[in-house]
Chains A and B, each alone.
Chain A
Amino acid sequence: MVTRFWAETAIALFTLAYGLIIVRGATEFGIGWDTSGPQPGAFPFYAGLLVALASLGTLVVTWSKRITGRDTLSAVILDRDGLGRVIGFFLPILGFVLLCATLGMYVATILYLLFAMRVQGGFGWLASLATAFGSAVAFYVLLERIFLIQLMKGPLEAFLGF
């Protein structure tokens, strides 16, 4: 269960950190104004600074509402069921990306679609297998054959000699 208050705080802290990282990175290149206009770091510096300040602004607004009791922002914006569904959808995606990086995109596509359809979607084996392999083949034909784009490959493709 996530309340609006904590969600706002978390995102604002995240963008605050992002802004500060940019500010730090930008100072390397000079942030002043010389004879030929702003130095290379100036634009990123001020943009990053704005991000950081505006994030602080959101934090102040959020916390002052809570402290003054005007609005405790304790409305639940993500309930237990919703959270469960999001995680149930997100974890396989994470797994898919991990598989892409290790086993290559074709194997990852097949495994992920099989899992999502057979286990999560409750489809039959035939439909799941057909969709999974059909998609992989479609990608192969379209990208590698027609457009000559090599997708990420893994040990299986290496073994098969692709």
Chain B
Amino acid sequence: MDNFASLMHGFSVALTFHHVALMMGGVLLGILVGVLPGLGAPNGVSLLLPLTFSMDPVSAIILLTSLYWGALFGGSTTSILFNIPGEPSSVATTFDGHPMAKQGRATEALSFAFLSAGIGALAGVLLITALSGWVAKFALRFSSPEFFAVYFITFASFIGLGGSSAFKSIVAMGVGFTLASIGMDTVSGNIRLTYDFDVLLGGVSFLIAVIGLFGIGELLLTMEDGLKFNGIAAKVRVSDVLRTAAKLPRYWLALLRSSIIGIWMGITPGGPTAASFMSYAMAKRSSRNPAKFGKGEPEGVIAPETADHAAGSAAMLPMLALGIPGSATAAVMMGGLMIWGLNPGPMLFTERPDFVWGLIASMYLGNVVAVVVVLATVPLFASILRIPFSIIGPLIVVICFIGAFTVAGKPFDIWLALAFGIVGYGFKKLDYPIAPMILAMVIGDKAEDAFRQSMIFSQGSLSIFWSNPLVTSLMAIGLALLLLHPLQLLWRNARRLTAARAARG
């Protein structure tokens, strides 16, 4: 148990008053960053980076990772309360979290989200502790075809989930794909689809789309109904938090499955956002009553949250051991590592054990600290819903647009957010599914790049997607997921027919 001894050493590094104070500070700042849509964890981390130049690397990384955990938690809060994902990875949390809040179960939803997120994160760190060496070697086997296969699995798990019309699903997904392809195309070095508008050079940030589609779109819908949030009357009691915690073990299967999906996506690197989507899809698919999903099913909160955090923490491993960032935030932290004089790579573990194991130990502690801190804020956040909508509505509007501006500091983005708001309202009125659109925006261009890189590898031959056992099994899983749904339908129909026939006969 070499790793275990190292971990214990790590705890001795991380568990000082100074470091725990940094964790608390980082988590609180992170919650603030996470609550503001647009100003996500990557921004928060890169903004704090200058502060860390004068710190020693262990303290610096503890501060930054704690901010990251805090941001992930903060992002879920606004998803649940206002249907506005504060972080890209908490988009999937809105699907069931917000309906729960509307039913007056905000405390329950928030507690479920935070607790399962904490469990997911711990699962991710446990993996890093136990299997760091093996995982680092495994991840080296991934090349473009394998990456494409991972994205393919994610898409496949999501297709056929919604009940919307096929035409509308295709439109939503296609719009997402095309929006993702605006801007620089890595593979050809061309700048695509900007139509000579300079503001489109950087592409259309999917954060802006999320702010418009979810935030503004949802507000317009709420206004139209003339409804206030139903949660207003619900009492917020601290004991509700505990009662929810007691219910959590019932969902052990969802927690386990979501942790595995999250860890997998964190390592491969599909990233936390894709992980949460996929986990939600898998939860709905394997549920006995999928119809409940989208209407306030706790498992619909637990699944994405667990996977999101598991992926977020597992993504630290490829960052440290390989120098591949598994998420946007990890990319920024990697920049930080270099500035502090550390070179991410396989040798970091042996060269700087203090740093690596101090960080890993701080991930355990940081997440525990984060869960405690956010659980303490549940009553506070849940009681925000009591504020009359005529105050909170306009405030959300302001937060959305300021958030949209902070994404890249582009004035154009606030107009774009407004446009997405109108589109989101129209789409929601007419049951266009928005989730596939977001998913396509998040991983569409990555999937395209991976596909085209694979084609360069193979000089245009598709056989590369079953050229080795790894990619073949990945593609097979993807295909199985893709075909599973129609086959299930067929089988069910067949059974109904035979049953009907048997009844007649």
**Interface, chain A (partner B; CB < 8 A):** 4, 7-8, 10-11, 14-15, 18-19, 21-22, 25-26, 29, 33-41, 43-44, 47-48, 50-51, 53-55, 57-58, 61, 77-78, 81-83, 85-86, 88-90, 92-94, 96-97, 100-101, 105, 109, 112-113, 116-117, 120-123, 131, 135, 139, 142-143, 146-152
Contacts and interface: CB of A to CB of B under 8 A. Distances in A.
Main secondary structure of the interface of B (DSSP, over half): helix
A119 to B, nearest CB: 11
B193 A44 contact: yes
Contacts of B497: none
10 shortest interchain CB distances as A-B pairs: A37-B455, A121-B390, A116-B394, A51-B174, A54-B170, A40-B188, A47-B177, A57-B167, A89-B223, A82-B224
Residue from B390, B394, B455 with most neighbouring chain A CB atoms (10 Å): B394
Chain B interface residue bracket vs A: 35 or more
B452 A38 contact: yes
Contacts of A123: 390-391
A142 B44 CA distance: 11
B226 interface: yes
A97 B412 CA distance: 10
Interface of B: 29, 32-33, 39, 43-44, 47-48, 165-168, 170-171, 174-175, 177-178, 181, 185, 187-188, 190, 192-193, 195, 216, 219-220, 223-226, 388, 390-391, 393-395, 397-398, 401-402, 405-406, 409, 411, 414-415, 418, 421, 425-427, 429-430, 432, 448, 451-452, 454-456, 459-460
A43 B168 contact: no
Contacts of B411: 100-101, 152
A108 to B, nearest CB: 8
A8 B171 CA distance: 13
Nearest to B50: A148
B418 A93 contact: yes
Contacts, number: 188
Given A47-B174, A54-B174, A116-B393, A7 B426 contact: yes
A18 B195 CA distance: 13
A68 B224 CA distance: 32
B192 A26 contact: yes
B390 A51 contact: no
Nearest to B453: A37
Contact of B220 (A81, A89, A112): A89
Contacts of B454: 37
B388 A121 contact: yes
B216 A93 contact: yes
B395 A47 contact: no
Given A37-B452, A41-B192, A131-B391, A47 B181 contact: yes
